[in-house]
Amino acid sequence: MTTIEVRLSGFGGQGLITAGIILAEAAILDGKNAVQSQSYGPEARGGASKAEVIISDGDIDYPKVGEADVFLAMSQAACDKYAKALRPSGILIVDTDHVKNVPAFSGKTYSVPITQIAVRETGREIVANIVALGVLVGLTGLVSREALETAVLDRVPPKTKDLNKQALAAGFAAAEEILGKEGE
Amino acid sequence: MANDRRAQLLSGNEACVRGALAAGVRFFAGYPITPSTEIAEGLAAALPKVGGTFIQMEDEIASMGAVIGASVAGAKAMTATSGPGFSLKQENIGFAAMAEVPCVIVDVQRYGPSTGLPTSPAQGDIMQARWGTHGDHPVIALMPSSVRETFDLTVEAFNLAEELRTPVILLLDEIVGHMRERVELPPDEEVHVVNRTKPVEGPETFQPYKPGPNLVPPMPAFGDGYHFHVTGLAHDESGFPTGRGQDADRLVRRLHAKIENRQPELARAEEWQLEDAQIVVVAAGSVARSARAAVREARERGIKAGLLRPITAWPFPEKAVREAARRAAPMIVAELNLGQIVREVERVSCGETKIVPLNRLDAELITPAEILERIQEVAAHVG
């Protein structure tokens, strides 16, 4: 039985809980089991926000993530707090627009200007969470790209479908570029 | 696991909304409070589409009053809240128990006392569910530990409320309420739904509080043509207060008996890996998920552990706990409070076995590792 634990953390308002929900829905579309949980402060925006997703072929009892296999950090505070809670062989993805000090880590680290890509490719910072999902899935293959796209389009408001599709494509492209360079 | 679109990702609160709709809820009144707000949101969107009514009231006291009024008018009615609001609803919950008004109260427990930590989990309302309103009153409180079970127990809460004419409490905790998991819900036609029994006799001879064979009086709705008085004062079968002690005695004993008679099937616990267990973990709600993981892990390490999970907090599953205690296996009682379920376990087990509480109060879910560690400590003594 394989179980993958993912943590997404940043500021409230970045849409990371939505991103966690979409990732879990994509896993279900792929025929897997998934649990998503979250923690957040009482503020609507600006406070710390964390979403956790567990994807498994089997039952999932404990719904929280201890040591993550994959951690996406979209704020310095989140990165400082949770980089330690990564498996030694895990994957750390940081948004370089928000994380300036990337901690040394025994696993794999990817530094990606996620928010900048969102602004550059779509003109809208608000879809940085969807760009992040494209990057994360592009780099890790946690769920299929088709399932992720379906899950994104199912979850977002109808008028924003094109915008989110664009954001997801930009995330996938960024991941391909990184993996392409690694392959050189 | 099949990849079909019946499987969906739902939170416990969303499953509660679906369960209420499947059970036939037609009225919700409440005052939004974290971590229960998604239940109000979901029903605000859904109820108007099925001819139901959603009212955001001025506070929790009024919303409980509105729920009682709607139920007496014939609607399946509910409210949802968290600890601070649950405290405020208590007086009217007592009224519903005394006047035998079917209704469902959802309490998504958060960290207390008082406003506490609004977005953090706890299981501190187990005793409040039992004794929050004053006087001797019977209570049914259900405690799901998964999203699917939240759906099922919401339906059951309505069924029991309607059948037994009593308030029923659904005790979620922040984790079960907010956690989303993969779930497949049954189609509506497969959901067993119970409706309240209406009187057979005509309005002329009708005695509103004359019990039927199951000790529950048949209940007309206001507007059905029956005239009846609904009061929190002790009353006789006419529904009017008499001020006589013996009438009050008969009434309050019947209120208890109608639920106690159902206790054997009503008081339920899940027993998992208990047959040969040398150590029993007692845990409910979200904590039971950690307990199950810990028991799994302990078994892999050769320790015969088992899980006893109360599904009904009230009536407490006394029989299951007593039988486990008689087998003299030590019991670890894990809960997100300073010790509430453990009091019942101690009471029921009458000193027949060792009881080890495991409590966490820093607003985080007890982990499987913590429970496993306690199992190993206890096993070292048993071995």
**Whole-number pLDDT of residue B327:** 86
For residue range B20-67, what is the model confidence (pLDDT) as tens digits?
999 999 999 999 999 999 999 999 999 999 999 999 999 999 999 999
- Provide the mean pLDDT of chain B: 96
Length of chain A: 184
Domain boundaries, given as residue ranges, for chain B: 7-190, 269-382
Report the SS3 class of residue A69: strand
Is A39 a residue whose pLDDT tops 90?
no
Beta-carbon separation of A24 and B179 below 8 A: no
Is A24 a residue whose pLDDT tops 60?
yes
Instruction: Choose among A34, A64, A66: nearest Cβ to B182.
Output: A34
Q: Which fold has domain B7-190?
A: Rossmann fold (3.40.50)
Beta-carbon separation of A64 and B34 below 8 A: no
Beta-carbon separation of B1 and A31 below 8 A: yes
Find the chain B residues whose C-beta atoms sit closer than 8 A to any C-beta of A. Answer: 1-3, 7-9, 34, 118-120, 175, 178-182, 286, 289-290, 292-293, 296, 365, 367-369
Kindly indicate whether the domain formed by B269-382 is annotated with CATH number 3.40.50.920. Answer: yes
Q: Is A165 exposed, middle or buried (0-12, 13-18, 19+ CB in 10 A)?
A: middle
- Largest Cα–Cα distance in chain A? 47
For residue range A121-137, what is the model confidence (pLDDT) as tens digits?
999 999 999 999 999 99
**Whole-number pLDDT of residue B288:** 98
Is B242 a residue whose pLDDT tops 60?
yes
Is B302 a residue whose pLDDT tops 60?
yes
**Whole-number pLDDT of residue B307:** 98
**Whole-number pLDDT of residue A28:** 97
For residue range B321-365, what is the model confidence (pLDDT) as tens digits?
999 999 878 999 999 999 999 999 999 999 999 999 999 999 999
Amino acid, single-letter form, for residue A112: V
- d(CA B343, CA B374) in angstroms, rounded, equals 19
Is B3 a residue whose pLDDT tops 60?
no
Nearest chain B Cα distance for residue A180, angstroms: 32
Nearest chain A Cα distance for residue B120, angstroms: 8
What chain A residue is nearest to B120 in terms of C-alpha separation?
A: A39
Beta-carbon separation of A37 and B175 below 8 A: yes
Is B1 a residue whose pLDDT tops 50?
no
Identify the band that residue B383 occupies on the pLDDT scale cut at 50, 70 and 90. low
Is A42 a residue whose pLDDT tops 90?
no
Average pLDDT on B7-13 reads 97
- Percent residues over pLDDT 70 in chain A: 96
From the CB of residue B206, how many other CB atoms can be counted at a distance below 10 Å?
19
Interface contacts A/B by beta carbons within 8 Å: 68
**Whole-number pLDDT of residue B2:** 45
Instruction: Choose among B180, B367, B369: nearest Cβ to A35.
Output: B180
Is B305 a residue whose pLDDT tops 50?
yes
Nearest chain B Cα distance for residue A24, angstroms: 7
Q: Which CATH architecture fits A3-183?
A: 3-Layer(aba) Sandwich (3.40)
**Whole-number pLDDT of residue A45:** 65
Is A71 a residue whose pLDDT tops 60?
yes
Of residues A2, A29, A134, the one with CA closest to residue A72:
A134
Report the SS3 class of residue B103: strand
ipTM tops the 0.90 cut: yes
Beta-carbon separation of B9 and A62 below 8 A: no
Residue B71 tokens, joined: 């139920």
Task: Give, in order, the Cα–Cα distances in Å from B248 to each of B63, B239, B369.
Answer: 28, 12, 51
Find the chain A residues whose C-beta atoms sit closer than 8 A to any C-beta of B. Answer: 21, 24-25, 28-42, 57, 60-64, 66
Amino acid, single-letter form, for residue B168: V
Beta-carbon separation of B180 and A24 below 8 A: yes
Instruction: Choose among A35, A41, A57: nearest Cβ to B179.
Output: A35
Are B7-190 and B269-382 in the same CATH fold? yes
Q: Is B21 exposed, middle or buried (0-12, 13-18, 19+ CB in 10 A)?
A: buried
Average pLDDT on B162-191 reads 97
Are residues A15 and A129 in contact, defined by beta-carbon separation less than 8 angstroms?
A: yes
Is B126 a residue whose pLDDT tops 70?
yes
| Cis amide linkage into residue B35, ω under 30° from 0 | yes
Instruction: Choose among B9, B118, B290: nearest Cβ to A28.
Output: B9
**Whole-number pLDDT of residue B6:** 83
Domain boundaries, given as residue ranges, for chain A: 3-183
- Provide the mean pLDDT of chain A: 95
Average pLDDT on B206-217 reads 96
